[in-house]
Structure 1
């Protein structure tokens, strides 16, 4: 079964799949060096109110796009629904993570594999160096090369293997789009986003990647954030809140953001994707058109300010310095539609 087959087969989606088209992105950030605009980033942004309505949008939030690793929390819910054996909160957070490859991340992934009688050889993700700069330097200093365990998606893959093992499904083919595990994950993506999957391709780690809309992805994240404790959605959200260090790593902006805003769950994705949601359902989704990671968090901070968060809390995330000769001579920050009038801050959490 190829990607078109799995994408075209009805499951549980209450809505049609988003259109596959060139998205109508708009300017959302600019980089200024010495008073001169050196670069402009286009993108799309959605801000959801607590009732799920669209509070603000810029660009094209309904076109099909690739969530990349921002989809992992939704996939973690799908794994629980599919029969993932019991995990402690730190391990469940790693299931939804793009981890830095710190020793605690590697040790947790090993324990997950060992619980199913497996080791690193069972992983089918692409070998890589640790994603976090400090962890990568340490790794290279030990003379080590690319590893499946060190690759930032190994927690998700370990959980996939645990689920397949528990269900008696094939382990060698767990990344095949036609595998029962991937069918179960696709059904959860459609259920939580409220729309059909537009297309299925392959993510960087080798796992199937489901295309939805930015609006749908953000809606799914809000459903996790507002879920009752003990549900699959609530368990993933609580694990991420309790262990932000497992979702990314020390020094990473996603970990720092979750620590700075109590109750927030947040996940980044390659190619400039960022989603975040608060316990009352307020949520944001960001896609930077050119995939620039440097613009992702400044735009996300501007979107979170539109949710009513204290701009003082977000200030550290709102700009990225531009350096010349070892000194800051400019900055990258939100621009365009993102800096149109914002409702006054009223002290929301």
Structure 2
């Protein structure tokens, strides 16, 4: 007996891998751009389908921590929203925050890891260090989550359970910011609950944060991230470059090739590369911002994704959007 199968539609190509003038690969996905009034300006693929935004959800997780009563600001709030590179200044602040709230590294339930930034990871290993929980890129978020649980008398041993009061609040914040119901709840790489929303909802959430009233949890998170982007990402990371070069812009990537961004006037974008290749993020983001009328030297920096042959540039990853 034959059984019916459902074949997912093939997503359009967002970028090509060009080596020596030959297209040797293609990266497919979906993308959406919102106009300043929040309407869909243009879309590629089907941005209405739910995706796991991965770390692009972190601003919403940080806003939930503020709503629950934890008083964070400045670099600390930026780090609570971060996928940090594991650089020394970031590790030091995580340890400081743990001490401020009477916590220990062993309380963190994120896995031990090496620095996310490859340059930092090489130096870290050369210095004789081993994988640590503090070094894991989500350790700032986990520290903030633990701290607010301690503040409210909530269980700290189960703070990653989707039924935990904090995680139920995170779900509420995600749904309110995205303007849609969470389609599914999974588990992120750091162990935290992960809420699936559409790319339209993700772009809408970032727009919500940049346009939120001053002093609101959402605006406080956006302001901290924009003021201290090196704590959100790192000194060699595209999110940092963008937020430094385009004042008022909120930008956050996620694993498996997710990117969300909102400009200060309310225009926003979100995209997901189907195969999870994060090397595509810079070129696609640069081309999309260019289409949105953004002019800045940072676009060339984002778009620069060379392919090497014998240590020489022989090609590039080229956006097709």
Instruction: State the TM-score, normalizing by the size of structure 1.
Output: 0.88
Match of 1:262 among 247, 252, 255: 247
How far apart in 2 are the matches of 1:57 and 1:267? 19
Tell me whether 1:318 sits opposite 2:303 in the alignment.
Answer: yes
CA 1:143–1:307: 2 relative to 1, 3 Å = same
SS at 1:267's partner residue? Answer: strand
* Alignment root-mean-square deviation, CA: 1.3
Separation in 2 of the partners of 1:110 and 1:287?
Answer: 33
- Who is 1:215 aligned against? 200
Write the distance in 2 (CA, Å) between the matches of 1:291 and 1:267. 15
Is the counterpart of residue 75 in structure 1 residue 61 in structure 2? Answer: yes
2:156 is matched with 171
Q: How far apart are the structure 2 equivalents of 1:98 and 1:54?
A: 28
1:276 maps to which of 248, 254, 261? 261
2:282, 2:303 within 8 Å by CA — same for their partners in 1?
yes
Cα deviations by residue, 1:203-261 (Å, 9 ceiling, x for unpaired): 00010111111110110011111122211111111101110100110111111121121
Deviation, 1:270, is 0.6
Report whether the alignment pairs 1:89 with 2:89: no
Report the CA distance between 1:306 and its aligned residue: 2.3
The aligned counterpart of 2:183 is 198
1:7 maps to none
Q: CA deviation at 1:312?
A: 4.5
From 286, 289, 293, the counterpart of 1:301: 286
CA contact (8 A) 2:250 2:262 kept: yes
1:321-336 mapped onto 2 (5 Å cutoff): 321-335=306-320
Contact kept? 1:74, 1:221, Cα under 8 Å: no
| Structure 2 residues not aligned, in runs of 5+ | 1-6
CA distance in 2, matches of 1:23, 1:276: 26
Match of 2:137 in 1: 152
CA separation in 2, counterparts of 1:312 and 1:180?
A: 44
Aligned to 2:93: 108
Q: Distance in 1 between matches of 2:270 and 2:168?
A: 25
CA distance in 1 between counterparts of 2:47 and 2:220 reads: 28
Segments of 5+ residues of structure 1 without an aligned counterpart are: 1-20, 339-349
How many residues end up aligned between the 2 structures? 315
- Which of 29, 36, 39 is 1:53 aligned to? 39
Give the match's secondary structure for 1:300. Answer: helix
- Asked if the contact 1:31/1:333 (under 8 Å) is kept, the reply is yes
- Once residues 58 and 88 of structure 1 are traced to their aligned partners in structure 2, the CA distance between those partners, rounded to angstroms, is 37
Residues of 2 paired with 1:270 and 1:279: CA distance? 24
Match of 1:11 in 2: none
In structure 2, how many angstroms separate the alpha carbons of the residues matched to 1:22 and 1:235?
A: 39
Match of 2:4 in 1: none
Deviation at 1:83, TM superposition (A): 1.6
Measured against aligned partners, the alpha-carbon deviations of 1:99-155 in whole angstroms (never above 9, x if no partner) come to: 011111111111222222111111011111111123212221222211111000000
Instruction: Give the Cα–Cα distance (whole angstroms) in 1 for the partners of residues 189 and 196 of structure 2.
Output: 14
Partners of 1:313 and 1:167 lie apart in 2 by: 42
> In the TM superposition, what is the alpha-carbon distance from 1:305 to its structure 2 partner?
1.6
Shift of 1:24: 5.0
Match of residue 233 from structure 2: 248
Residue deviations 1:171-223 (CA, integer Å, cap 9, x gap): 01000111111001111001100111111111000101111111101100111
